[in-house]
Chains A and B, each alone.
Chain A
Amino acid sequence: MEKFEPVIVAFCCHYCAYTAADMAGSQRLPYPTNVKVIQVPCSCKVDALHIVKAFEKGADGVYVAGCLEGDCHFKNGNEKAARRVEYVQKYLDEIGIESERLEMVMMSAGMGYRFAQVATEITEKIRKLGPSPIKTATAL
């Protein structure tokens, strides 16, 4: 079997995380290619359904990236998103998908280095976890 390269979806809020990704870009901070960003206006826009669907379609990892606590452009969307992520993590456990495959992270717009660091750490973590059980099951 070829080397496992996880597919990771990163839902990034426009105001902080997506801007931090741009920041990582302009500072040329490297991170693995496995992370694919989907832009949302606020991390609270990320529906539980989007996350679950991503896993159903075969994502190995998903993370939702919002602003730092207290910094949400829409008052408290990021805190709401964090609670939702926790809820979906429990559901993933029920389904039999390791909840560590889903994460909420927070960063400010200026934290390019953190964006790259998070992307790297999460990719490493998922790599260690191996392919998502759903992916394995569909491959059979």
Chain B
Amino acid sequence: MQNSNKLQTQNNKVLVIGGGLGGIRTALDLAEAEKDVVLVDKDYTIGGLMTQLDRTFPTNNCDLCTLAPHLSESNRQEHIELLTMTSVVGVTGEKGNFTATLDTQPRFINLEKCTGCGDCLKHFPECVRFNPGLDHRAPTCMRYPQATPQAFSIDLDKCEDVEALVKICPAEAINADDMVIRREVRCSSIVLSTGASLFDPSELDYLGYAKFPDVVTSLEYERILSASGPTGGKLVRPSNDKQPKKIAWIQCIGSRGLQKGAGSYCSNACCMFALKEAIVTKERFQEDIETTIFYMDMRTFGKDYELYFERAKNEYGVRFLRSRPHSILQLEGSDKLNMIYTVDDSTKQLNEDFDMIVLSTGFKTSEESRKLAADIGIELNSDFFPVTDGFNSVATTKPGVYVAGTFQSPKDIPETMVQASAAACMAATDLPVLDVKVEDTEEEQATERDVSGEEPKVGVFICDCGDNIGGVIDVEALVEEAKNLPFVTVSKAEGHGCSRISMDNIRKTIEEEGLNRVVIGGCSPRTHQAKFQDLIQTAGLNKYLLEIANIRDQATWVHSGKPEETSKKALELLKMAVGAVVKAQPLTDQTLPINKNILVVGGGVTGMTSALRLAEQGFQVYLAEKSDKLGGVARDIIKTLEGNDVQEYLTDIIAKVQGHKNIQIITRAMIVDHSGMPGMFKTGMQSGPQMFYRQIEHGVTIIATGAQPNRPPLYLLDQCASVRTQLETQQFIFTNPEVVKTWENVAMIQCVGSRIPENPNCSRICCQNAIKNALAILEINPDARIFVLYRDMRTYGFQEQYYQKAREKGVIFVRYKADDPPVVEMAGDQVDVTFYDPILSQKVSFTVDNLSLSTGMIADNDSTEELAMIFKLPRTGDGFFLEDHVKLRPVDMSVPGFFVAGTAHSPKLLNESIAQANAVAARAQTMLARDVINLGAASARVDGKLCAACLICVRACPFDIPFINADGYSEIDPAKCHGCGMCVSECPAKAIQLMQFEDDRILAKVEQLLERISA
């Protein structure tokens, strides 16, 4: 692909810099929306940091299998030009017409020819880059079978006999003369997702990172836990390879301005990262291991993160100490790490031994990224992160250049994914709108031959895959033996089966011999099934009349030194495949035409932003709002923490939405019914003052119903005029500055109605709200004494700077414990606030002129419950809509065609909602770009005659798809079936079959394998 001849001169593409998770997401979103992308990464394979993680929070899943398809998919997308080992050396021009200069380092392997066979690695391991990073101090790249591109890279400096190396490649893919290639790419917009580096704690002597091998960073610890890491997943101390008994984590290393060289910001993800590591450690070793986290504030502000924190505490027994460790030493003669620390607000020094200490190191931007930013000409802030628009966090100071992921600001995976999609959305707006769609993919669809009624005629084609198969077993002998298998008409050896020539031969043989079933003996169906399916389709066969016997990965690669047994096994695998393919039936992929209209439910800023983006791309949008006005909660917000004017923004966007010809606004809308399937929904609603009923047809639904300000009857709220929510406080400050001037004492109580048993989650927005209002009060009345009573200050990311500013300006922050909250009493017009001061170690009381309660947000349970019922959407325990995949699909819902954005998803700030709104617009476009949806063929089918309507499938289905229909038997909508087969194996009447994996097909394999024995 590097050497592809594609024209590089058009300016209708997007340049995405950085092939980590975010970059891949951006590129995929654009490509799926039929936009051309150039994706560059300086590494020789894409995947970034994500591929080094063992498991991810908060589900503790290993996400490799979810991520993997994304990676291989990106290779298959015709709209993506992937340039690995490539860096951007310069950018000129402006929005709509950039020119980027790219340098590609030599890989010495021609990717077009390389089959990923690994012969070069086998013979020249020292000069082929493929090994996993085994040095836990230098995690480089984890290898996994889905590596993209699926090819190796040669380190020519390490190679002594270049000629021999070149010769070893059976595909003649090694090119020793490869050299740096410089090229220019023209593009309309640029997305920077270069990621961030991690803080290097080596300089901090007192932490002993450079001295003691058992002091590791959190990423290194992750690699130690990882099955693919240096220890193969065994948790051992680097110093002595023994299992540690006591592990400590120290938070905020390199963050919150705490150490030399640390960023002034909070690194956002480290608290959860440490929690996850502690939990996974506990999960594996339970009582056997002690885990302690030394922290300043636990910042678990994300969706359901607080529950994760609670679980860590209560279920797993992770110990939490609010503490700043002083130093780590190793005493003479001891193999333990000795930590000196103080706890809470006490000054007493404590001393404790640990076997391992993990430093939760924060993010920082890399020198390379900073330089790139300078080259492109975008402004960076004092912490060297790009300055972005207050209401559009992916827009940099330079029009046409966007930024996503950890290079924008420190963040976790879900937020990276959201920004990646948002950046895709924004980048697409800079592309010229193409009216005519080029239909070039369907040209050579051969007509499908009807094979029903034909006796099976199986063709067996066996690859030698160079030495991979041919070097281990006698392929010719196998071909001969295969000829004797039942129904086999043709058996042939095919060299590299996936090479163009072989594919051509196979196609011809199918046509000439009139074959109606095909077995490929070669490599994994996971990587090659689609390719061979396409092939037999061009030969006029239904693509499901194919079986692949994985004789490479499951025989010749894994039984070295036993050629005889390997040959026997290869034959058995072929037999099984032949037996199964004989039972194969032609299947049709489920496809659905797409209705390209969009229904956006909710007319707040989120809904309006999504609607506007999609309307700008030419789609018809219905914007349904249940109240009589657009704007939602934003109508009550005056300014953001950073000082941006919300009302001005709101007025502007309302005007744009109202003025757009592609947007139809429906106010006072109440959704009453819903039917159809993804791509062709019908939603009924009553609207307007008369509640007229109307039905809307649409292909995609965006849920942007928002949340509502919480208003718990606590701390005299609604009983005393001087008690206000933070939202009310802000309005009061702006409308009554003269009153604010008279205030002597002000108190603010955090976590009111949040992080309590009835509402266990953190409301995310309240800490910054308190800081925002405190600063605003001091602006008007610098003498006011402000107490903020908090549990953990969660000013994540750059909010931390405002927190520091508030401290500097004299705002007094006092921590209270959940079981000893402040007490308030009415004192005339004022309020007496009594709380425990941990520094004075006693209760103190103040009479305050204003008490602001940080009440946060809660789901609007009444309306979300009803919508969830009508749309059949899942919700979290606290009533927010649940996304499909917490990490990788944060705005997609489990029901295809549904997306969620804004505070309907969880509490969040305005600019975070806007990012989700843009992300949703990008995700929706990936669906709307197609004319039909292909749902594959692997769905469960019920035989109504056999069904006993027992409901077992209805209950067993993980996705609630089967139902008992009006005829009294179970029905499974193939468009909704996920194809797991659970219902099939549970059905007591054997009335269900999973297409492609029918019982007789699986049993045929069993029978073929064991035939000799039972006969």
A-side interface residues toward B, CB under 8 Å?
A: 7, 9, 14-16, 18-19, 21-33, 36-42, 44-50, 53-54, 56-59, 67-68, 70-71, 73-77, 80, 84, 108-114, 116, 135, 138
Contacts and interface: CB of A to CB of B under 8 A. Distances in A.
Given A21-B554, A28-B557, A116-B558, A16 B65 contact: yes
Nearest to A46: B985
Given A41-B980, A57-B1007, A116-B558, A138 B576 contact: no
Contacts of B60: 70
A108 B985 contact: no
Contact of B145 (A23, A75, A113): A23
A26 B526 CA distance: 13
Interface stretch (B157-165, B346-354, B565-573): B565-573
Interface in B98-145: 116, 118, 122, 142-145
B1002 interface: yes
A71 B65 contact: yes
Interface string B545-563: 0000010111101111110
A54 B1003 CA distance: 8
Given A18-B526, A36-B573, A74 B1009 contact: no
Contacts of A15: 65
A7 B1010 CA distance: 8
B240 interface: no
Q: Which of B142, B552, B997 has the most CB of A within 10 A?
A: B997
B521 to A, nearest CB: 14
Given A28-B560, A44-B985, A74-B980, A58 B144 contact: no
A21 B523 CA distance: 12
B1006 interface: yes
Contact of A25 (B553, B572, B938, B1002): B553
B981 interface: yes
Given A33-B559, A38-B1002, A41-B981, A7 B554 contact: no
B59 interface: yes
Contact of A14 (B118, B526, B568, B573): B526
A126 to B, nearest CB: 14
Given A36-B576, A41-B981, A110 B227 contact: yes
A40 to B, nearest CB: 6
A46 B576 CA distance: 17
Contacts of A75: 958-959
B714 interface: no
Given A41-B981, A110-B62, 10 more contacts: A19-B65, A22-B527, A26-B557, A38-B1002, A42-B982, A53-B1006, A70-B59, A73-B980, A75-B959, A77-B980
A129 to B, nearest CB: 16
A84 B554 CA distance: 26
Interface in B42-71: 59-62, 64-66, 68
Contacts of A44: 980-982, 985
Nearest to A8: B1009
B232 interface: yes
A15 B979 CA distance: 12
25 contacts: A22-B550, A24-B553, A26-B118, A26-B143, A28-B557, A28-B558, A30-B558, A30-B561, A33-B555, A36-B576, A36-B1009, A37-B550, A41-B979, A41-B980, A47-B984, A47-B999, A48-B985, A50-B1003, A58-B1010, A58-B1014, A67-B65, A71-B65, A108-B64, A108-B65, A110-B144
Contacts of A46: 985
B1010 A38 contact: no
B997 A25 contact: no
B994 A71 contact: no
Nearest to A115: B558
Nearest to A139: B1013
B525 interface: yes
B981 A57 contact: no
Given A36-B572, A36-B573, A21 B1006 contact: no
B985 A109 contact: no
B675 interface: no
B145 A26 contact: yes
A5 B394 CA distance: 61
A40 B568 CA distance: 23
Contacts of B239: none
B1005 interface: yes
B683 interface: no
B519 to A, nearest CB: 14
B892 to A, nearest CB: 15
Nearest to B150: A26
Contact of B1002 (A27, A40, A48, A74): A40
A74 B65 contact: no
B999 A50 contact: yes
Given A36-B576, A39-B525, A76 B958 contact: yes
A50 B1002 contact: yes
Contacts of A16: 65
Contact of B568 (A24, A30, A33, A77): A33
A71 B565 CA distance: 34
B978 interface: yes
Contacts of A111: 227-228, 233
B1006 A9 contact: yes
Contacts of B861: none
Contact of A21 (B553, B956, B979): B553
A50 B939 CA distance: 19
Considering residues B145, B576, B978, which has the most beta carbons from chain A within 10 angstroms of its beta carbon? B145
B761 to A, nearest CB: 21
B524 interface: yes
Contact of B997 (A18, A24, A41): A41
